[in-house]
Amino acid sequence: MKLDKQTQSDLFDYLLRLGDDRLILGHRVSEWCGHGPILEEDIALSNIALDLIGQSINFLSLAGKVEGQGRTEDDLAYHRDALDFKNLMLVEQPNGDFGFTMVRQFLFDAYSLLLMEALQASELKELAAIAGKALKEVRYHLRHSSQWVLRLGDGTEESHRRVQNALDDLWMYTREMFESDEVEQRLVQKGIAVDSTSLKSGWESMVFQILKQATLEIPGEQGYYSSGSRQGIHTEHLGYILADMQFLPRAYPDAKW
Amino acid sequence: MEDKKRLEEFEARIQRGEKIEPKDWMPERYRKQLIRMISQHAHSEVVGMLPEGNWITRAPSLRRKLVLLAKVQDEAGHGLYLYSAAETLGVDRQELIEQLLEGKAKYSNIFNYPTLTWADIGVIGWLVDGAAIVNQTMLAKSSYGPYSRAMIRICKEENFHKRQGYEIVATMAKGTPEQKKMVQDAVNRWWWPSLMMFGPHDTDSPNSGELLRWKVKTKTNDELRQRFVNLTVPQAHAVGLTIPDPDLKYNPETGNWEFGEIDWDEFWRVIKGDGPCNRERMRARRKAHEEGAWVREAAAAYAAKHGMKSRVA
Amino acid sequence: MNHKTKAENEATDTQWPLWEVFVQEKQGAPHEHAGSVHAPDAEIALQNARDVYARRGRLLSIWVVPSAAITATTPSDDGPFFDPGNDKIYRHPQFYKVPRGVKMF
């Protein structure tokens, strides 16, 4: 990989975004293990968490190689603090009830599907390959989460109320998925990255269709939208995730596990 | 046909090593014993997800995290296979789960102990899964077809559980002084409960005779326990760990590692509900079940509303 | 048997109906019974079957069938149901002599 200094630094940052989204969401989903609404769903949620963490390993490991300082995926996962995490705020939100988790997953899966599809055309072969592999998994995740949004939205009065609430609570975290910045734009110019703004209309048509079918009301455009996680600004929840996740390697810096 | 004659035929089939299938005639006792045993086994897998699940978010590397998550997921899968095997005997999973949540059903005592450090994850994989594998390898030969088939599948899948556990133990045992302390402490806490997993002495095991005669089990509790100790002691020594039993000694004549007496008071106390985590584990299971009720109901309502091909039942 | 009926259970709570899962592991191979899952409908049954029985290794195809839709023989069918076939030795390939040295398909 021969990259100029600017591209190297941009790409490192971009790969952290991709890796951190999946690491943090995988962490959240893994919290369900043993606590799902039915045994079959425990197994499904574990599969999704395994896929997400697996994807994050691929992106973070490539990030480490691009950076060229010898940092591994574990170094990046366990030895960065909140300001250096670049994941979307959406994925760090606490699980809530099963409906909340499914809505969060659905909103992310639809975005992830479009992004992985587009990244397959990246000029950076390693990145295109990782995206291609992830895409197969994401297709299944989206099938799972959208089927659940349909059932819960159009199930009972209680389930409808719960997922409508979840949707209203999470909506403010959706817009930053489609925000671009200089880092991304420079990589778009080089044919490496995908312009996030280009994903919005595809996402909306996919998401709106399922939400309508699920008899859910799409939240209005007027409300507050969070922004800034790609620059390291997060909600209060990320710190606790990191405290939990990073505890052992931080407490015993010399130990191998 | 007379029941007596049927029973004779049934026992003759078992003697010939034939498998009994769900629709075959079987004595009511056999059916009841199997439902009891298989559902206890299923409950154990499901409750067993809790102590290990406790460390998924804190696994010290991404690889360890994936492995632990996959292992706990397997336990859910194995619970599912076992509930299915029990369902072939004419009970509903719903009913079995209610028995567990109402505190009427037993599950393995071992999961009523807490996981306090990461070393516990290694030691559980090594000792607890090790003990389970010794037991399950025997159950794979069980006379009841669906139970035996579930066990064969489970044994195949659990092969990696013990290895990953021992790998964690071995890594920590040659690690920093803190890690060594952690892993020895975990062995000290889990050793005796692991031996208890094989159940009471044969002489105190009310069901053993019948289960052996009907080949639901093919080895006694004490035989299996001895086999486990013989396999495990050298593994502990190989990585420099001490087994917390002053009476442990090798008998060159029998080839057995002879061990001290289990604290049977503790065993019976924990079985009856008075262990460190009994109440907590049940609370967690009940919470998951109750909080999942609206989800299960919504999906059923959706299926009914949309006339999906589910209402055949 | 002394247990509550399915309907009685579903009045209070539900674990959803039971489905039998058949999987095809290799192209050209038959679908074989892998086990069962609980699911509220066919789509979720397929997803659950995929998650439970394809955790290791790829599967080419999965069938799910409501367990209640399966009709099976009973052990008392054993004689009348299966014996005739056994008698008709001309249905078994071993019935036909092939000259030594000839390789059949």
Q: How high is the pLDDT of residue B310?
A: 46
The pLDDT confidence band at residue C7, using thresholds 50, 70 and 90, is: very low
Contacts of B300 in chain C (CB under 8 A): 10, 14, 16, 40
- If residue A44 lies in a helix (H) or strand (E), which one and from where to where? helix A39-67
Q: Could you tell me which chains touch chain A, where touching means 3 or more CB pairs under 8 A?
A: B, C
Amino acid at B308: M
Q: Which residue range forms the structural domain that includes residue C36?
A: 14-70+81-95
Q: What is the pLDDT of residues A186-213, one digit of tens each?
A: 999 999 999 999 999 999 999 999 999 9
Q: How far apart are CA A66 and CA A1, in angstroms?
A: 8
What gap in Å lies between CA A105 and CA A91, rounded to an integer? 8
ipTM of the complex as predicted? 0.96
Q: Which CATH architecture has domain A5-251?
A: Up-down Bundle (1.20)
Q: In what order do the strands lie in the sheet with C61-66?
A: C32-38, C18-24, C61-66
> Which residues from chain A sit within 8 angstroms of residue B49, using beta carbons?
33-34, 42
B256-258 and B249-251 beta bridge pairing = antiparallel
Tell me the CA distances in angstroms from A205 to A104, A133, A239, C43, one per residue in order.
Answer: 17, 24, 34, 23
Q: Which two tokens stand for residue A61?
A: 């490991």
What residue type is assigned to position B302 of the chain? Y
- Is C63 within 8 Å of chain B by CB? no
Give the span between the Cα atoms of B278 and B281, in whole angstroms: 5
Cα–Cα distances in Å, from B287 out to A35, A97, B244? 8, 12, 36
Are the Cβ atoms of C52 and A140 closer than 8 angstroms?
no
CA angle C22, C24, C29 (to 5 degrees): 125
CB contact (8 A) between residue B73 and residue C39:
no
Q: What's C46's domain CATH number?
A: 3.10.20.520
Nearest Cβ partner of A44 from C16, C40, C51?
C51
Q: What is the pLDDT of residues A225-255, one digit of tens each?
A: 999 999 999 999 999 999 999 999 999 999 9
pLDDT digits over A21-40, tens only?
Answer: 999 999 999 999 999 999 99
Each residue's pLDDT tens digit, A121-139:
999 999 999 999 999 999 9
Whether A203 has its CB under 8 Å from any CB of chain B: the answer is no
pLDDT value of residue C75:
73
pLDDT of C83 above 90? no
Domain count, chain C: 1
Residue ranges of the domains in chain A?
A: 5-251
For residue A73, which residues of chain B lie inside 8 Å, CB to CB? 62
CA atoms of A252 and B13, how far apart (whole Å): 59
Q: C13-54: per-residue pLDDT in tens?
A: 789 999 999 999 999 999 999 999 999 999 999 999 999 998
Residue C38 included in any domain: yes
**Residue A136 vs residues A15, A113, B203, B307: alpha-carbon distances, Å:** 19, 9, 56, 30
pLDDT in tens, A102-117: 999 999 999 999 999 9
Long-range contacts of residues A184-187, Cβ cutoff 8 Å, at least 24 apart: A184/A10, A184/A14, A186/A6, A186/A7, A186/A10, A187/A7, A187/A10, A187/A11, A187/A14
The answer to whether the CB atoms of A257 and B118 lie below 8 A apart is yes
> How wide is the angle at C-alpha C1 spanned by C-alphas B309 and C5, nearest 5°?
35
Average pLDDT, chain C: 80
Reported for C30-35, long-range contacts at CB under 8 A and 24+ positions apart, including other chains, are C31/C61, C31/C63, C35/B80, C35/B81, C35/B84, C35/B150, C35/B153
Residue C3 has pLDDT above 70, yes or no: no
Residue C82 has pLDDT above 80, yes or no: no
B83, B94, B157: best to mutate for the C interface, most C CBs within 10 A: B94
DSSP assignment of C10-72:
HHH-----EEEEEEE-STTPPPEEEEEEE-SSHHHHHHHHHHHHSSSS--SEEEEEEGGG---
Rounded to the nearest angstrom, the minimum Cα separation between B293 and chain A is 7
Which amino acid would we find at residue A70? G
Strand B256-258 to strand C18-24: parallel, antiparallel, or no bridges (unpaired)?
Answer: unpaired
Select from B118, B295, B302 the Cβ nearest to the Cβ of A37: B295
Residue with tokens 């990461």: B118
Radius of gyration of chain B (CA): 21
Q: How confident is the model at residue C10 (pLDDT cuts 50, 70, 90)?
A: very low
> What pLDDT does residue B312 have?
44
Quick one: tokens of A147? 């089927």
- Calpha distance B262→B200 (Å, rounded): 9
Closest CA–CA distance from residue B84 to any residue of chain C (Å): 7
Which chain A residues are Cβ-neighbours of B302 within 8 angstroms?
150-151, 154-155
List the single best residue of B49, B62, B157 to mutate versus A (max A Cβ within 10 A).
B62
Minimal C-alpha gap between B279 and chain A (Å): 16
pLDDT digits (tens, 9 = 90+) for A133-156: 999 999 999 999 999 999 999 999
Compute φ and ψ for C20, nearest 5 degrees.
-95, 140
Q: By CA distance, what is C39's nearest residue in A?
A: A40
Positive or negative, the CA dihedral A39, A44, A48, A51 is positive
* Yes or no, beta carbons of A140 and C55 under 8 Å apart: no
Whether residue C9 has pLDDT greater than 80: no
Contacts of C55 in chain B (CB under 8 A): 70, 73-74, 77
The pTM for the full model equals: 0.93
Residue B3 confidence (pLDDT): 82
Q: Which residue of A has its CA nearest to B283?
A: A35
For residues B201, B204, B209, B215, the Cα torsion angle rounded to the nearest 10 degrees is: -40
B215 to chain A, closest Cα gap in Å: 30
How confident is the model at residue B172, as a pLDDT?
Answer: 98
Contact residues, chain B, for C6 at CB < 8 Å: 92, 313
DSSP 8-class letter at C103: P
User: What DSSP string describes B24-80?
Assistant: S---HHHHHHHHHHHHHHHHHHHHTHHHHHTTGGG-SSHHHHHHHHHHHHHHHHHHH
The predicted model gives C53-77 an average pLDDT of 87
- Chain A contact set for C59 (CB, 8 A): none
C49 touches chain A (CB under 8 A): no
pLDDT value at position C79?
Answer: 62
Strand-pair category, C61-66 with C18-24: antiparallel
Mean pLDDT by 10 residues, chain B (313 residues): 86 94 93 96 97 98 97 96 96 95 95 98 96 94 95 89 93 97 98 97 86 92 97 97 98 97 97 95 97 97 81 43
